[in-house]
Structure 1
Amino acid sequence: MSDLALAGRRPFGTDLLTMVGRCLRLSRRNTDAVLMSLLLPVMLMLLFVYLFGGAVNTGMAYVSWVVPGVILLCTGFGAATTAVSVTQDMAGGITDRFRAMDVSGAAVLGGQVAASVARNFLATVLVFGVGFGIGFRPQAGPVEWLAAAGILLAFVVAMSWFSAAVGLLVRSVEAANGFTFFVMFLPYPSSAFVPIDSMPSWTRGIAEHQPLNPVIESLRGLLLGTPVGASPWIALAWCAGLLAGSVALSVVLFRRRTG
């Protein structure tokens, strides 16, 4: 089989769990990448809060304003590293070996996405922990926490599948690494670190209509008890569209690369 069809001989769940375990073991061995994905967002949060926070007027404690943005930066960067993992597997020939063993493409790529979700869970917990330590005090109840977690999960899954598609599209690890740094800078032209109304008019237009901004606004509103308006629905619509397009593109690219 050369597409993303379900595995024939073994249960799909068995192959998927095997691929997830493999990806997590590889992540654990890649100490440099793990440390960077965990420590970089924390360092940026401390930098913004203690060096720039006093100069930015957000109408609330700056740490409360910035934590949702740092979480998106953290999860976006972590999900984007899926592109590097997929590219390494394709370039190294391991994917062809899996296909020869009748492991489905859905299991191969699904394992990468599931491992990305697990890695991002750890990084998010760390960011929240540091945020609590420096003064972040959310006002959310159980329902708001669940809603925020659902939106964040939808974003991570959609971005991870998009990154998997990019990993199938590019031919070198260097190109995949370039994509991760592009994703890392996406939160900057948004309300992640400064209010949008403080930006120049042309930047404000970009910030208001880019896909990460409604996710950030949703997390901030849900966690801090401020009005969210339609942001959660817009965020979920962006995630659903990105997920559907990424899965479809992954199907086409996986067939083309392994057929």
Structure 2
Amino acid sequence: MSDALRFSVTAPVAHSLTMAGRGIRLSRRNLDAVITSMLLPVMLMLVFVYFFGGAINTGTEYVTYVVPGVLLLCAGFGSATTAVGVSEDMKGGIIDRFRSLDIGGIPILAGHVVASAARNLVSTALVLGVAFLIGFRPSTTVPGALAAAGILLAFIVAVSWLSAVVGLLVRSPEAAGGFTFFMMFLPYPSSAFVPVDTMPSWLHGFADHQPVTPVIESLRGLLLGFPVGSTPWVALAWCAGTLTVALGLSGALFRARTA
């Protein structure tokens, strides 16, 4: 392999890792947002378990039922903050400096996505730690746990990249922040907190066929040792489709915004 070809292959990866390091350093400087993204899912889990759990019949301990949904809520909320970071970069003029260093759009956005995944790993560990303290006991195998982690990571990457698209579309970080509220709402009309069959019949179609439900059902089945059938493949198909569309849109939007 020639030096020029080797550079063309390795440079985007090196740039992406550099941008990821930058994103993590920026997170350390914005501790209030990081703490909020970590504590909010924990607080919601405690509210649902101790305030509402006694009135909700899921056929099992409610903490056992709700934890997979909270993990997804945590992942969605944390990933959605990528939109704010991308929007701040686009508004602040730092992109011109990166382009002068021959750093392309995909590495810049990939850096935000990798940093988002790193933040989400910490948030997920915190949620699981608190869940264990309040009675969550998974019944899984090592392959099942690894499969659940893989699906959750695929969801984080897909939503993070979709958030990057939102950050490129809007004109202010404040508007980008609105995407986090959408991602917080999406798990509610799903099987995250109550079984779908307890919802009004007119809501069943959406709740059963939106992307969050198969991801949650996959996590729940893999962590608790329930049969999952083809559900994990459906979840991965949603994640792959979302990621594919987001990659295409982000590349086109970045070129349009920086032309």
User: Which TM-score tier does this pair reach, normalised by the shorter chain?
Assistant: over 0.9
Match of 2:50 in 1: 50
Change (3 A) 1:137 1:257: same
| C-alpha distance in structure 2 between counterparts of 1:12 and 1:232, whole Å | 31
| C-alpha distance in structure 2 between counterparts of 1:13 and 1:199, whole Å | 46
Give per-residue Cα distances to partners, 1:202-239, cap 9 Å, x unaligned.
Answer: 12221111110000000000000112122101101100
Q: Secondary structure at the match of 2:248?
A: helix
Change (3 A) 1:10 1:157: closer
Q: Does the 8 Å CA contact 1:7/1:102 hold for their aligned counterparts?
A: no
Q: Does the 8 Å CA contact 1:70/1:192 hold for their aligned counterparts?
A: yes
TM-score (norm 1): 0.95
Residue 64 (1) aligns with residue 64 (2): yes
Which deviates more, 200-209 or 42-51? 200-209
| C-alpha distance in structure 2 between counterparts of 1:241 and 1:81, whole Å | 21
Match of 1:247 in 2: 247
1:107-256 map, 5 Å: 107-256=107-256
How far off its partner does 1:13 sit? 2.8
Which deviates more, 242-251 or 221-230? 221-230
How far off its partner does 1:251 sit? 0.7
Residue 98 (1) aligns with residue 98 (2): yes
| C-alpha distance in structure 1 between counterparts of 2:86 and 2:138, whole Å | 36
Aligned residues: percent identity? 66
Match of 2:29 in 1: 29
Which deviates more, 43-52 or 94-103? 94-103
| C-alpha distance in structure 1 between counterparts of 2:160 and 2:171, whole Å | 18
- The alignment yields a C-alpha RMSD, in angstroms, of 1.4
Q: Does the 8 Å CA contact 1:89/1:95 hold for their aligned counterparts?
A: yes
| C-alpha distance in structure 2 between counterparts of 1:8 and 1:47, whole Å | 51
User: Partner letter of residue 60 of structure 1?
Assistant: T
How far off its partner does 1:14 sit? 2.5
* Structure 2, unpaired ranges of 5+: 1-5
Match of 1:15 in 2: 15
How far off its partner does 1:126 sit? 0.4
Change (3 A) 1:9 1:192: closer
| C-alpha distance in structure 2 between counterparts of 1:225 and 1:22, whole Å | 39
Give per-residue Cα distances to partners, 1:128-178, cap 9 Å, x unaligned.
Answer: 000011000000010100110111111011111101011111111121011
User: Partner letter of residue 123 of structure 1?
Assistant: S
How far off its partner does 1:29 sit? 0.7
Q: Secondary structure at the match of 2:121?
A: helix
How many residues align structurally? 254
TM-score (norm 2): 0.95
